[in-house]
Structures are given as structure tokens and as C-alpha cells.
């Protein structure tokens, strides 16, 4: 098993470890974007009728940890993007940090073969696990980019996009 | 070689073909975002001092094709995100379509081993090719998300984010 894994790591263009590192790098940046918002604007500011950034971050939370949990345990969580219990920046950041740990813990329990198995995430998204995980990452980058516009509109300099490598 | 490739395709969590498909899916969506802008706003509208969407799209063009060209041929292009010759939506869309073909053509010429070789892209970004390519994709999703806010601020419904699978 060890040598098979080593061979894969040399050949695959993206290994599980690299995918996780990239995602957690993005999640660290998203955390800094949350931090950059003033408390009130985090929950209230929006442009063009879009959701405030706290709601976008709650959607990311609703996807990340629960996706990993279902992939590893098979237990399907309900998709809860409201997270009604989170009403302050500190609560949002604490939930973010909990998800960071949850993702790291579950990630280590995903056998290589499982990444390519089809899973019906939240009973709605019936794709190979890696496609669902790629979607989760892309969705976070997409919405965080929107947070950058909110911050600029508020006259606040966002953290550097490339500060993840 | 065939069986080694087949084994890799079964084991890798992301194959070159899947990475390309995901990227071109995103590029198709970005093209529809360009199309959704009125001509004038594409080149002039901005929020919070940010670049208009045409300039963000030009940055994507400056990265995508030239990165592939350097990875395949070793020839380093200058990083030209100004693209002064592009002043209309049609020119931008035509350049987008040319890049789509260029990416597809070069992609087929990247040996598997090359994805993990370090390359100093544009003489500035000294990372394994796959890290540089992942950055290109993430950067596009990031900036396109900003385009969504521009469109919403203009009262225009953007294309669906998930319309890529």
C-alpha cells in the first residue's frame, strides 16, 4: 500500500493532500475576509439584492463539514444554510474554525477509492465525491470574490488573493 | 503506457482530462458572464474602484493561453493583461474563443509528468505546473464572482453558477 500510494503521489496531477491544502488555504483566506468586515456590515451590507457576506459564509459552512461527514460516514445531514444560531462575527469565526478541524479529521478517513465514487450529497447532488468537493471549493472562491466587492464598496482593502500558497 | 494510464485514471482524484473539463466548464460560464454585460458597462462599469469586467477577463486571457504555451513549449510570453487591441465585446469574445482552442490544443501535449514539474511562469511564478494551473482556475472563479456583483448592481440576472456540470 505504501509504495502504491507513493506511485500515485508521483503520477496524479492532484493528490488528496494537495487538494486539502489548497482548500484549507482558500478557507484561511475566506476567514480573513470575514474578519475584515465590520460586525454590522458582515450581516447587513449587500449590493444588488444579494445576500450579505455572513449568509454566503454560512452557505459555505453548510456545505463543507456536512459534505465530508456524509462522504466518510454515509450519514446525510440536512442542508442548513440558515445557521440561525450564528448572529455575531465571533460565532461565525468559531464555527469556521470548528469546520476547519472537522474537514481535516474527516479528510484523513477518506480512502483513495472513495473520491471517485458517486455520492448523492444532501440527497440532491448525485456526483462523484471529487466533483462534489471541487464544487464546494469553487463555490467558496466564487462567493468570496463577491465579498471582495462588498469590502471595496465599503472602502476596506481586502486581504491579498494570492496569500494562500 | 495504456494500462499505466488506465490505472492512474482509476486512482488519481483528479485526472488531466477532468481538470481540463472543469476549467473549460468554468470558462464557458465566464464567457456567458461577458455576454451578459451591456457593451458600455463591460468596459466601464465598476464598484469601489475595482477594474471593469473586461479588464478582469483580459487578465484571465493573459494567464490562460500563455501559461499553457509556456508549459508545453518552454517559451515564456510577456504577461500582457492590457490587451489594448480588445475594445469591443465581440473582440473580447473572439479572443476568448481563440484561447479556448489554444488551451485544448496545448493541453493534449502536456505529458503527465510535466504537471508536477516546477516552471517559472512568466518568470514570476515559480511553482509546479499544476499549482500554477490551479491558481489560474481559482483566479478566474474569483474575478468572475466579482462580475456577478457588477451584473446584479446593474439589475441584470447573471447565468447560473452551477450550469457547468
Residue A38 has pLDDT above 50, yes or no: yes
Res A164: pLDDT:
81
Residue A11 has pLDDT above 60, yes or no: yes
Mean pLDDT for all residues in chain A: 93
How sure is the predictor about A10, in pLDDT bands with cuts at 50, 70 and 90?
low
Residue A8 has pLDDT above 70, yes or no: no
Q: Which residue is it, cell 469546520?
A: A99
Residue B9 has pLDDT above 60, yes or no: no
Q: Residue A118 in 3-state DSSP? A: strand
User: What's the 3-state SS for B22-83?
Assistant: HHHHHHHHHHHHHHHCCHHHHHHCCCCCCCCHHHHHHHHHHHHHHHHHHHHHCCCCCCCCCC
- CB within 8 Å of chain B, chain A residues 61-100: none
Query: Hey, are the CB atoms on B148 and A144 less than 8 Å from each other?
Result: no
User: A83-113: b or e for each residue (b if 16 or more CB lie within 10 Å)?
Assistant: beebeebeebeebbeebbeebeebbeebebe
Please check whether residue B48 is in contact with residue A155, taking contact to mean a CB–CB distance below 8 angstroms. Answer: yes
**Residue A124 DSSP symbol:** T
Res B10: pLDDT:
59
- Tell me the domains of chain A and their CATH numbers: 17-153 (1.20.120.450)
The residues with which A118 forms a beta bridge, in sequence order, are A128
Residue A115 has pLDDT above 90, yes or no: yes
- CB of A146 within 8 Å of a chain B CB? The answer is yes
Query: Hey, are the CB atoms on A14 and B131 less than 8 Å from each other?
Result: no
Identify which of A16, A49, A50 has the shortest CB distance to residue B13.
Answer: A16
Residue B37 has pLDDT above 70, yes or no: yes
pLDDT tens, position by position, A48-61: 999 999 999 999 99
pLDDT tens, position by position, B109-143: 999 989 999 999 999 999 999 999 999 999 999 99
Res A1: pLDDT:
36
Show the beta-strand stretches assigned E in A6-160. 118-121, 125-128
Q: Please compute the mean of the pLDDT values over residues B9-18 and round it to a whole number.
A: 82
Mean pLDDT for all residues in chain B: 93
Res A3: pLDDT:
45
Residue B2 has pLDDT above 70, yes or no: no
Q: Please compute the mean of the pLDDT values over residues B90-94 and round it to a whole number.
A: 98
What ipTM score was computed for the predicted complex, to two decimals? 0.93
- How far CA A64 is from CA of A31, B105, B163, in Å, comes to 14, 35, 20
Res B1: pLDDT:
37
Residue A126 cell numbers, joined: 448525485
Nearest-10 crossing angle of helices B129-153, B16-36: 20
Residue B53 cell numbers, joined: 469586467
- CB of B165 within 8 Å of a chain A CB? The answer is yes
Res A105: pLDDT:
98
Q: Please compute the mean of the pLDDT values over residues A34-41 and round it to a whole number.
A: 98
C-alpha–C-alpha distance, residues B165 and B163, integer Å: 6
Cα angle B124, B73, A8 (rounded to 5 degrees) comes to 80
Q: Which of B145, B147, B155, B164 to mutate to test the interface with A (most CBs of A within 10 A)?
A: B145
Q: Please compute the mean of the pLDDT values over residues A130-141 and round it to a whole number.
A: 97
Q: Please compute the mean of the pLDDT values over residues B48-52 and round it to a whole number.
A: 98
The distance of B131 to chain A (nearest Cα, Å) reads 9
Q: Please compute the mean of the pLDDT values over residues A129-148 and round it to a whole number.
A: 97
Nearest-10 crossing angle of helices B16-36, B53-73: 150
pTM of the model: 0.94
Residues of B in contact with A146 (CB under 8 A): 145-146, 148-149
Taking only Cα atoms into account, the Rg of chain A, rounded to an integer number of angstroms, comes to 17
Q: Which residues neighbour B73 within 8 Å (Cβ) at sequence distance 6 or greater? A: none
Amino acid at each position: 500500500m505504501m509504495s502504491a500510494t507513493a506511485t500515485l503521489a508521483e503520477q496524479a496531477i492532484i493528490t488528496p493532500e494537495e487538494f486539502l491544502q489548497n482548500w484549507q488555504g482558500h478557507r484561511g483566506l475566506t476567514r480573513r475576509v470575514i474578519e475584515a468586515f465590520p460586525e454590522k456590515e458582515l450581516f447587513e451590507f449587500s449590493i444588488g439584492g444579494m445576500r450579505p457576506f455572513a449568509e454566503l459564509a454560512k452557505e459555505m459552512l453548510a456545505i463543507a463539514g456536512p459534505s465530508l461527514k456524509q462522504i466518510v460516514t454515509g450519514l446525510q445531514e440536512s442542508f442548513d444554510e440558515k445557521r440561525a444560531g450564528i448572529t455575531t462575527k465571533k460565532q461565525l469565526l468559531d464555527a469556521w474554525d470548528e469546520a476547519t478541524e472537522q474537514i481535516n479529521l474527516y479528510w484523513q478517513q477518506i480512502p483513495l477509492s472513495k473520491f471517485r465514487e458517486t455520492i448523492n450529497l444532501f440527497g440532491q447532488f448525485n456526483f462523484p465525491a471529487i466533483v462534489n468537493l471541487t464544487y464546494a471549493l469553487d463555490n467558496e472562491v466564487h462567493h468570496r470574490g463577491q465579498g471582495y466587492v462588498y469590502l471595496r464598496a465599503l472602502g476596506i482593502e481586502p486581504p491579498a488573493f494570492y496569500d494562500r500558497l
